[in-house]
Structure formats: structure tokens, C-alpha cells
Amino acid sequence: MRSLPLPLALTARLSPVVVLAAAGWALSSGPLAAPQAAENKPVEETRTQSRSEPGPSTTQESKTYESAPAPCDALASKSIKSLVPGAKTAGKEIASTDSELRRTCSWNALKGYEYRWLDVSYEVLASDEAAERSYAGRVDDKSGGGAVPGLGEEAYSVVNLTTENKQETREGVVLARASNALVIVTYNGSDFESKKAPSTDEINKGAIKAAKEAMAALQKGTGD
């Protein structure tokens, strides 16, 4: 079988990219509620205590997840073999400046003339509200997709086609949120013999399948 050079964009894609992370977020919390006055205390004393005691905090932020699970354990081996034929099922975790909050695993392989690449990432933010803002901003940056029902609390997928030197590459991205954590899946592919890309349906369904498994691993705290 003759070997073919990879397009420049995909050649660059084969080198893991160190993702620089921003600094962590500070959390604050206050007392749940001010104690109630006893019924047998004088009215004036009760009023004085009410004025001096702090009320319920309005700065407490909700969150469920403290750290990111191991992304290379997120998918079943049979799923990796199906989505990325020829890839090592162990995957390769990309270095992160804060592995407690951001972790990514990659699989890629060229089998025959068919090339596939899969990334699964977890990001754990300081609160549900922070995750909601991050999710909304990412969706705004990737217009043209649609909602994915039944995946986390909210999810979105989009597929795009690019062409370089007559070689097509189709890439799907799925964003999903559960509480204060994000699951991000990137899945793409090319055929170097026909120079065509896999169908939109194949890439979209593959990315969603990976995202559902990754979300399940997050929600139960471990991967399969």
C-alpha cells in the first residue's frame, strides 16, 4: 500500500497541543440562615438581635464536581475501535497546567486511507453559573449547529467541512454541560484516497456517541 502525505492542517493536528489554563476561581459562602428569635423573648430584644445578626448569604454558588475524571478512561474500548479504527485504545492524555480542572485525551489513526481523530475533554469550573456562561460563549462561537436532547443539562453539536489542497476534512464538535462541568468532544476524519470526507451524519453521530459515554463517566465519577 502506498503512503500518502497528510495535509498540512492534519499534520499539525497530530502534534498534541498543550492547553494553557486560566487561573482558578474563588468561591465564597455564607451562613445558611440567621437563627430565629425564641418565642418567649421580649419584642424589643428580638428586634435588636434581628438588626445585629447577619441574614442569609446571597453569594453562595452551587456546584457538583470538584475535579475532572480521567478522560482516557471515559470511553469503552469497543467505542474507540469503532470511532478510530487502528488507534491504541489507551489513548494519549495531553498535558494540562491544572489536571484537577482540565483534562483531555486524544486518539488518532490512519488505517488504509481512512484517517480519524478524536478528542475528549473535561473542564470543571468554579460553579454552575460559571459553567453556564462558558457553555453559552462556546456555543455562540460555533454557530450553525443544534441542540442535543438527553445529554447532560444542555448540549449542542455542530459539524463543519474544510478543504485544503482538494482534500476534504469533516469535523464535529459536541459541547455538553452538567452542573459546573463541561464535556467537549471533537471528532474528525478524511479519506486520503478519494480526498472526500466522511458524511455529516457519520461524524455527528460519532461525536455524540463519544460525548454520551464521556458524560456518563463524569456523572458516575469513573470511566469504563
Clarify whether residues 32 and 87 are in a common domain.
Answer: no
Total of domains in the chain: 2
103 is a domain residue: yes
Clarify whether residues 32 and 68 are in a common domain.
Answer: no
The pLDDT assigned to 53 comes to 47
Q: Is the pLDDT of residue 50 over 90?
A: no
8 is a domain residue: no
User: Which residues, in sequence order, are CB contacts of 214 under 8 Å at separation 6+?
Assistant: 71, 74, 75, 120, 122, 183, 185
Report whether 97 contacts 105 (CB < 8 A): no
Q: What is the DSSP string of the chain?
A: ----PPPHHHHHHTS---BPPPPP-------S-PPPPPTTS-HHHHHHHHHHS----S-------SS---GGGSS-HHHHHHHSTT--TT-EEEPBS-TTTEEEEEEEEEETTEEEEEEEEEEE-SSHHHHHHHHHHHHHHSTT-EE-TTSSSEEEEEEEEEEETTEEEEEEEEEEEETTEEEEEEEEEEETTT-PPPPHHHHHHHHHHHHHHHHHHHHHSS--
Give the range of the structural domain holding residue 31, as residue numbers without chain letter: 24-60
pLDDT range class, residue 60, cuts 50, 70, 90: low
* Backbone angles phi and psi of 12, in degrees to 5: -65, -30
Please report, for the domain that includes residue 78, its CATH number: 3.40.1000
11 is a domain residue: no
Q: Which of 154, 149, 157 shows the shortest CA–CA distance to 204?
A: 157
82 is a domain residue: yes
Clarify whether residues 34 and 79 are in a common domain.
Answer: no
Name the pTM for this structure. 0.72
Clarify whether residues 34 and 51 are in a common domain.
Answer: yes
What do you get for the CA distance between the two ends of the chain, in Å?
Answer: 36
Clarify whether residues 35 and 87 are in a common domain.
Answer: no
Clarify whether residues 35 and 76 are in a common domain.
Answer: no
Q: Is the pLDDT of residue 25 over 50?
A: no
187 is a domain residue: yes
The pLDDT assigned to 224 comes to 39
Clarify whether residues 44 and 86 are in a common domain.
Answer: no
Cα atoms found within 13 Å of the Cα of residue 9, Cβ hemisphere only: 16
Clarify whether residues 89 and 129 are in a common domain.
Answer: yes
User: Which of 26-30, 80-84, 117-121, 217-221 comes out lowest in average pLDDT?
Assistant: 26-30
User: Which of 59-63, 105-109, 131-135 comes out lowest in average pLDDT?
Assistant: 59-63
